[in-house]
């Protein structure tokens, strides 16, 4: 579903309050933190809560997790903790099955929304099928570059683009908002938006001065490129 008249921007992989506030002041609509162990931008839920509490009320706070291969009781305990820290959205960034996403939708008591990552790579039809499978049980689909076989084990933030033509087709067929991620930066985001017409764009490594540290100039340039009206 295209929402390109006013593309939203999510700055993800924040590890401290200062970077998160800087992103909001530059015009970000959403701020993301990553609560996935053994990834380069991991922060614990206590630090995530500090970031959520520091942000303005009209900015979306997104917590990125992977919940596949976890016992059901552990999954529900984690979701409860995320709900309590003040997040607006939970982003499922693993290989969570459709059934798990549907179960979370039924069990969550708060109004927290669910974003589901779909990896883009390989066969176009299979990517579209994966996205369509989730659209009735989540609030938005996020398209990220598929991890390479034998890679680093990172769930995102690789700085690598995928075939935007596949993402374009998914946007045209999926009724829920679609967020474009994967290898975006201040230099290519306008071109990506023009082609794909996503509801929102998501960036992490593309606006860093180093891993875990955002670059204020890059953040500003990214948002200005994604939102020409802000210039």
Residue 163's H or E segment, with its range, is none
pLDDT score of 183 more than 70: yes
Task: Report pLDDT for 147.
Answer: 86
Whole-structure pTM over 0.85, yes or no?
yes
DSSP string, 94-155: S---HHHHHHHHHH--S--EEEEEEEE-S-HHHHHHHHHHHTTTSSEEEEEEPPPTT----S
| pLDDT tens-place string over residues 18-40 | 999 999 999 999 999 999 999 99
Task: Report pLDDT for 159.
Answer: 82
If you count them, how many residues does the chain have? 231
| pLDDT tens-place string over residues 36-82 | 999 999 999 999 999 999 999 999 999 999 999 999 999 999 999 99
Task: Report pLDDT for 151.
Answer: 55
Task: Report pLDDT for 87.
Answer: 96
pLDDT score of 113 more than 80: yes
Domain ranges of the chain: 4-230
Q: Cα separation of 111 and 113, whole Å?
A: 6
In contact, 9 and 204? CB cutoff 8 Å: no
209, exposed or middle or buried, with CB in 10 Å at 0-12, 13-18, 19+? Answer: exposed
Task: Report pLDDT for 231.
Answer: 54
Q: Which two tokens stand for residue 60?
A: 């979306």
Q: What secondary structure letter does DSSP report for 190?
A: H
Task: Report pLDDT for 184.
Answer: 98
Q: Cα separation of 68 and 100, whole Å?
A: 8
| pLDDT tens-place string over residues 188-230 | 999 999 999 999 999 999 999 999 999 999 999 999 999 987 6
Q: Which two tokens stand for residue 110?
A: 């708060």
Domain 4-230: CATH superfamily, name plus number: Aldolase class I (3.20.20.70)
Task: Report pLDDT for 154.
Answer: 64
* Other CB atoms within 10 A of residue 148 CB: 10
Q: Cα separation of 129 and 124, whole Å?
A: 9
Point out the catalytic residue in the list 19, 29, 88, 144: 144
130-134 LR contacts (CB < 8 Å, sep 24+): 131/170, 131/173, 131/174, 131/178, 132/173, 132/174, 133/98, 134/98, 134/101
Task: Report pLDDT for 152.
Answer: 54
Task: Report pLDDT for 158.
Answer: 72
| pLDDT tens-place string over residues 122-165 | 999 999 999 999 999 999 999 999 987 555 556 666 789 999 99
Pairing mode, strands 89-92 and 60-65: parallel
Reply yes or no on whether 144 is catalytic: yes
Reply yes or no on whether 89 is catalytic: no
Q: Cα separation of 87 and 160, whole Å?
A: 28
Task: Report pLDDT for 86.
Answer: 93
pLDDT score of 17 more than 80: yes
In contact, 146 and 162? CB cutoff 8 Å: yes
Task: Report pLDDT for 150.
Answer: 54
Point out the catalytic residue in the list 12, 52, 89, 127: 12
């Amino acid at each position: 579903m295209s929402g390109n008249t006013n593309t939203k921007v999510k700055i993800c992989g924040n590890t401290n309050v200062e970077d998160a506030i800087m992103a909001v002041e530059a015009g970000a609509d959403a701020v993301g933190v990553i609560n996935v162990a053994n990834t380069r931008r991991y922060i614990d839920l206590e630090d995530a809560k500090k970031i959520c509490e520091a942000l303005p009320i009209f900015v979306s706070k997104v917590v990125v997790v992977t919940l596949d291969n976890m016992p059901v009781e552990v999954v529900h305990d984690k979701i409860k903790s995320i709900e309590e820290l003040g997040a607006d959205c939970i982003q499922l960034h693993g290989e969570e099955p459709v059934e798990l996403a549907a179960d979370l939708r039924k069990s969550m008591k708060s109004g927290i929304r669910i974003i589901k990552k779909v990896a883009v790579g390989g066969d176009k039809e299979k990517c579209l099928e994966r996205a369509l499978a989730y659209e009735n049980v989540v609030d938005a689909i996020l398209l990220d570059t598929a991890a390479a076989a034998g890679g680093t084990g990172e769930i995102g933030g690789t700085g690598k683009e995928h075939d935007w033509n596949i993402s374009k087709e998914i946007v045209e067929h999926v009724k829920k908002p679609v967020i474009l991620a994967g290898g975006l930066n201040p230099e290519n985001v306008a071109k990506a938006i023009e082609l794909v017409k996503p509801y929102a764009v998501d960036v992490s490594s593309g606006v860093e001065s180093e891993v875990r540290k955002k670059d204020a100039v890059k953040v500003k340039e990214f948002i200005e490129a994604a939102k020409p009206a802000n210039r």
